[in-house]
Amino acid sequence: MKIKNWIYTAALGAVISFTGIQQSSAQVAQDRYFRAIGTPHNPKVQVSWNRYHTNLALEEIMKDMVKKHPDLVKLESIGKSYQGNDIWVLTVTDFKTGNAEEKPAMWIDGNIHSNEIQGTEFTLYTAWYLSEMYGELDFITQLLKDKTFYIAPTINPDAHDNFIKEPNTLNSPRSGMIVLDNDGDGLAGEDPFNDLNGDGHITMMIRKSPTGRFIKDQMDPRKLVPVAADQQGEYEMLGFEGYDMDGDGQVNEDGVGYYDPNRDWAWNWQPDYIQRGAWKYPFSVPENRVVMEFVMKHPNIAAAQSYHNYGGMILRGPGAEEDLNTYNATDIRVYDAIAKKGEEFMPGYRYLVVYKDLYSVFGGQLDWFYGGRGIFTYSNELMTSYLYFHQNAGRGNQDEQMKVDTYLTFGDAFVNWEEYDHPQFGKIEVGGFKKNFGRLHPGFLMEQDAHRNSSFTILHAFHTPKLSVMDVKEKDLGSGLKEITAIIYNERLIPTHSSQDIKYKIERPDYVSISGAKVVAGFVVENEDFNKVKEQKVNPEKIEVENIPGMGAVKVRWIISGNGNYSINVDSVKGGKANWKK
């Protein structure tokens, strides 16, 4: 661990030290702005990172990025959602250096769960930061020469806007907008929430009742607190706003689909009775199918991040204990090295394993990226109450949340209790926290957390493979024959093939070829000191290498005849290309 961290720090430090200090007038732009370290202070694309953007605004910003950074940002619609919205992917790379589809790539998406909209902002921030800092910071410039970022701010655009524009709770919708029969009565979506007070938020219903077990806190009447076991209360809780629309005696039991887009992926997929939220079969959710098809067509993706909320977590698989053997020690060392570094610069975020530290999930997105494609993948659970007061008060701590709303947001987070005549419950009161409080960042916390999470994906992307032909040795064997031994080095943590990839041969081997020489025999050198070699009898000029490990190397050898100049080419799907010429 320590060694890995040291290596990373040294590598990153080396890159940064070349930068020197750019002390120049560029830091005072247009006589108006002075750079705050770490942030583009005079960006070509103006974005406020303290509010949420609708699909319309997102599209405008993304198109502006393309316009202002034509050599760095491309935008494409990779397919349509259920309701026919575009699913946009920004490709961010230095398009003038190398072929984007041949560079090791990082996939970042947000908003698979509809209500978890800060993932959209954070992915967008990453694209913005990278494109604005290119040319200003050598580290970022080199990163975009070496790597490609595929950034999908929302892979669930229908429900992204539904959450924002329609009445919702902080948890709804979780699915996309396909309306299903949640309660098994043969009707689909016949009894959703009802916004009784018409404020765009689904808050809580309470009612005075002699058998109620709650009272309003006299110090802060917004708060409903439970009474002691031997005390009489005044209020009962009636759940989220709504009424019984279909006459079955239940309220809010059938809104939009029960399905969970994050139970729809093709690694160890299980049906709904085993994994609640699964729909018909893997990729039956149309938005996921679009993403899957993109990922299949871009096998250069070697690392991935999928943003969720809530809890301040860097998650990795396995999603289910049944998959424990899928993640082997070699790969876990890579996961650990990157995530433990992330914990250091993301206060409040903890590195956790889904099945062990949360709950079991079959058919989750991160398990498919890793299990189904061999891609090193994290899922960050954005926002944690730690960011409020740097205390671990825990999720949904009412006292802390009230304090936030009193001293930091001044009443913006809460809908005060108001009386309402309910058709079934009679006189009730409606009120509570708004849908955009609790799980979502308040504006003043967004930019910082967006930056830290982007930094984590940048670190992750940095550690996708970087290959070079490090050393080529020639030995004269006599009779006109020469032995050429080449070392192919990967100077980053992530191997060209994860162990999962090797196990199932997900991606083809890496090819190390020699051209310009007549090849008599070709080998992979297993131990140079004791001359342990493995011969490749067919096509020896193109040696197939199973994997080039992270921070490691493979050696290949050819016996050639003749004296001409030759060149050596490395071609790895996830590791990019490298070459060497004599």
Partner 1 sequence: MKRLYLSLVVGAGILFSVQTTSLAQGDYPTLSQLTQRLQAISGSGSAAKLSSLTKTEGGKDIWVLKIGKGEIDNKPAIAVVGGAEGFHVLSVELAVQFAERLIKEHSDILDRTTFYVFPNMSPDAYEQYHAPLKYERRGNTSKVDHDRDGRVSEDGYEDLNKDGLITLMRVESPTGDYTPLESDERIMVKADISKGKKGSYLVYPESRDNDKDGKFGEDLTEGIAFNRTLTYKFPIFTPLAGDYAVSEKESRALLDYLFDQWNIFAFVTFSPANNLSAPLKYNAADAKKRIVTSMLEKDVAINSMVSGIYNETVSPKAFNQSNQGTDGDFFQWAYFHFGRLSFSTPGWWVPEIKGDDGKSISNAEANFLAWATEKGITDAFIPWASVNHPDFPNQKVEVGGIRPFVMYNPPYEMVNDIAKEHTDFIIKLAEMSPKIEFHNLQTEKLGNGLTRITVDLYNNSPLPTHSEMGEKSRWLRKIRVDISKDAKDLVSGDKIKLLNKLGAFEKTSLSWIVKGSGAVDIKAGAAHTGIAILNVKL
**Which parts of this chain interact with partner 1 (CB under 8 A)?**
181, 183-186, 246-249, 266-267, 269-274, 280-284, 292, 296, 322, 360, 362, 372, 504-506, 508-509, 537-538
Kindly state the smallest distance separating residue 507's Cβ from partner 1, in Å: 8
Looking up tokens 């701010």, which residue turns up?
153
Q: Which is nearer to partner 1, 280 or 333 (CB)?
A: 280
Q: Which is nearer to partner 1, 269 or 456 (CB)?
A: 269
Kindly state the smallest distance separating residue 246's Cβ from partner 1, in Å: 7
For the record, the structure tokens of 263 come out as 């139970």
Q: Which is nearer to partner 1, 156 or 326 (CB)?
A: 326
Q: Hey, is 37 helix, strand or coil?
A: coil
How many angstroms separate the CA atoms of 357 and 422, rounded? 41
Q: Which is nearer to partner 1, 404 or 506 (CB)?
A: 506
Can you give the three-state secondary structure of 206-251, one letter per residue? EEECCCCCEEECCCCCCCEEECCCCCCCCEEEEEECCCCCCCCCCC
For the record, the structure tokens of 258 come out as 């029960």
Kindly state the smallest distance separating residue 315's Cβ from partner 1, in Å: 20
How many angstroms separate the CA atoms of 197 and 434, rounded? 13
Kindly state the smallest distance separating residue 417's Cβ from partner 1, in Å: 28
- CA separation (Å) from 126 to 61, 136, 380, 421, 555? 13, 15, 14, 47, 37
- CA separation (Å) from 69 to 43, 45, 66, 145? 11, 9, 5, 14
Kindly state the smallest distance separating residue 284's Cβ from partner 1, in Å: 8
How long a stretch of residues is the chain?
582
Q: Give the burial class of 206: count Cβ atoms within 10 A of its Cβ; 0-12 exposed, 13-18 middle, 19 or more buried.
A: buried
Closest-CA residue to 499 (of 457, 549, 551): 549
Distance from the Cα of residue 228 to its chain's centroid: 44
Kindly state the smallest distance separating residue 377's Cβ from partner 1, in Å: 16
Q: Which is nearer to partner 1, 8 or 283 (CB)?
A: 283
Kindly state the smallest distance separating residue 535's Cβ from partner 1, in Å: 13
Q: Which is nearer to partner 1, 353 or 445 (CB)?
A: 353
Q: Are 315 and 354 in contact (CB under 8 A)?
A: yes
Going by the DSSP 8-state scheme, the letter that residue 503 receives in this structure is H
Q: Are 53 and 65 in contact (CB under 8 A)?
A: no
Kindly state the smallest distance separating residue 262's Cβ from partner 1, in Å: 16
Q: Which is nearer to partner 1, 185 or 195 (CB)?
A: 185
Q: Which is nearer to partner 1, 7 or 180 (CB)?
A: 180
Q: Give the burial class of 21: count Cβ atoms within 10 A of its Cβ; 0-12 exposed, 13-18 middle, 19 or more buried.
A: exposed
Kindly state the smallest distance separating residue 305's Cβ from partner 1, in Å: 21
Q: Which is nearer to partner 1, 185 or 336 (CB)?
A: 185
The backbone region for 571, taken as left when phi is positive above 0, alpha when psi lies in -120 to 50, beta otherwise, is beta
Kindly state the smallest distance separating residue 367's Cβ from partner 1, in Å: 12
Residue 73, C-beta contacts closer than 8 angstroms, at least 6 positions apart? 65, 66, 90, 91, 92, 127, 131
Q: Which is nearer to partner 1, 283 or 335 (CB)?
A: 283
Q: Which is nearer to partner 1, 188 or 472 (CB)?
A: 188
How many angstroms separate the CA atoms of 510 and 547, rounded? 7
Q: Which is nearer to partner 1, 247 or 478 (CB)?
A: 247
β-partners of residue 542 are: 513
Task: State the first-to-last Cα distance of the chain, in angstroms, to the nearest integer.
Answer: 38
Helix (H) or strand (E) holding 335: helix 329-345
Kindly state the smallest distance separating residue 265's Cβ from partner 1, in Å: 9
Kindly state the smallest distance separating residue 248's Cβ from partner 1, in Å: 4
